[in-house]
Amino acid sequence: MAIQTLIRSEFDNLLFRHASKCGATVFNNTRVTENQLEGERPVSADWRNTSTGTQGRISCSYLVDASGRNGIMSTKYLKNKRYNRALNNVACWGY
């Protein structure tokens, strides 16, 4: 069995740079503050650069919710996130 351990921050940076090389528009130090939807379809996002304070809005054809466990799109916008309370304190690991 082949196993590779990744450092999350380094892997995220690798994906970020690769997306840029493939033609994606990427933004450093930028946080989405609000999403605009038409029905359940994302159409634009308001953003703020955390370094400069610059703000704006960008239109989008696709939106990737990379907020992890928080699942911002499911929780805040689509309101379709369901928690299984029985699994609230479960952790899995292996050696």
Q: Rounded to whole angstroms, what are the CA distances from 42 to 6, 56, 70? A: 31, 16, 18
Residue 41 to residue 83: CA distance in whole angstroms: 23
Q: Which of 77, 68, 67 is nearest to 34 (CA)?
A: 77
This prediction's pTM? 0.66
Chain segment 22-34, per-residue pLDDT in tens: 998 888 999 989 9
Mean pLDDT of the chain: 87
**pLDDT score of 30:** 93
Domain ranges of the chain: 25-78
Residue 36: the pLDDT is 94
Using the predicted structure, report yes or no on whether residue 73 has a pLDDT greater than 80.
Answer: yes
